[in-house]
A and B are shown apart, each in its own frame.
Chain A
Amino acid sequence: MPADESTDDVSTSPASADPVSPNGRPDTSEASGSREDSSGDAPTVHPKLEIEDLHFWYDNGGTHALQGISMDVQPHRVTALIGPSGCGKSTLLRCLNRMNELIQGTTLEGTILVDGQDIYAEDTDPVMVRRRVGMVFQKPNPFPKTIYKNVAWGAEINGYTGDLDALVERSLRQAALWDEVKDQLHSHATNLSGGQQQRLCIARTLAVQPDVVLMDEPASALDPIATSKIEETITELKEDYTIVIVTHNMQQASRISDETAFLYMGRLIEMNPTDQLFTRPEKDRTEAYVTGRFG
Chain B
Amino acid sequence: MEPSPNGTFELRRSQRKRVGMILAGVLFLATIFGIVVLVALLVDVILTAAPWLDAQFVRSFPSRTPGEAGVWSALMGTLWLMGLTALISVPLGVASAVYLEEYAQDGWFLRLIRVNIANLAGVPSVVYGILGLALFVRFVSLGSSLLAGALTLSLLILPIIIISTQEALRSVPSGVRESAYALGATRWQVIQSHVLPMAAPGIMTGVILALSRAIGETAPLILVGALTFVSFVPQGALDQFTALPIQIFNWAARPQDEFRALAAAAIVVLMMLLFTMNLTAILLRNYFEERRAGS
Contacts and interface: CB of A to CB of B under 8 A. Distances in A.
B289 to A, nearest CB: 10
Indicate the member of B177, B182, B293 with the most A CB atoms within 10 Å: B182
A104 B106 contact: yes
Interface string A136-167: 01010101101000000110011000000000
B189 interface: yes
A201 interface: yes
B173 interface: yes
A131 B189 CA distance: 13
A208 B179 CA distance: 12
Contact of B183 (A131, A144, A188): A131
A127 B294 contact: no
B178 A137 contact: yes
B294 A143 contact: no
Interface in A202-226: 204-205, 208
A190 B293 contact: yes
B11 to A, nearest CB: 41
Contacts, number: 78
A204 B105 CA distance: 30
Interface string A170-202: 000000000000000001111100000000010
B135 to A, nearest CB: 35
A92 interface: no
A157 B193 contact: yes
A153 B294 contact: no
A131 B193 CA distance: 17
A158 B184 contact: yes
Interface string B176-215: 1111111111100100011001100000000000000000
Contacts of B105: 104
A135 B184 contact: no
Indicate the member of A144, A187, A190, A205 with the most B CB atoms within 10 Å: A144
B80 to A, nearest CB: 37
Interface in B148-187: 173, 175-186
B111 interface: no
A205 B181 CA distance: 11
A131 B293 CA distance: 28
Given A127-B184, A144-B292, A188-B295, A137 B198 contact: no
B13 to A, nearest CB: 41
A104 B110 CA distance: 13
A90 B183 CA distance: 18
Contacts of B292: 144
A127 B182 contact: no
Interface string B213-230: 000000000000000000
Nearest to B295: A188
Given A104-B106, A144-B198, A201 B179 contact: yes
Nearest to B173: A141
A199 to B, nearest CB: 14
A102 B178 contact: yes
A157 B184 CA distance: 8
A187 B173 contact: no
Given A130-B184, A143-B180, A137 B293 contact: no
A105 interface: yes
Contact of B182 (A128, A158, A189, A205): A205
Nearest to B106: A104
Interface in A96-137: 97, 99, 102, 104-105, 127-128, 130-132, 134-135, 137
A134 B183 contact: yes
27 contacts: A102-B178, A102-B181, A105-B106, A127-B186, A130-B185, A131-B183, A134-B183, A135-B182, A139-B175, A141-B178, A143-B179, A143-B180, A144-B198, A144-B292, A144-B293, A146-B294, A153-B183, A154-B185, A157-B183, A157-B185, A187-B294, A187-B295, A191-B294, A201-B179, A204-B183, A205-B182, A205-B183
User: Top 6 A-B pairs ranked by shortest CB distance?
Assistant: A188-B294, A131-B184, A141-B175, A154-B183, A135-B182, A130-B184
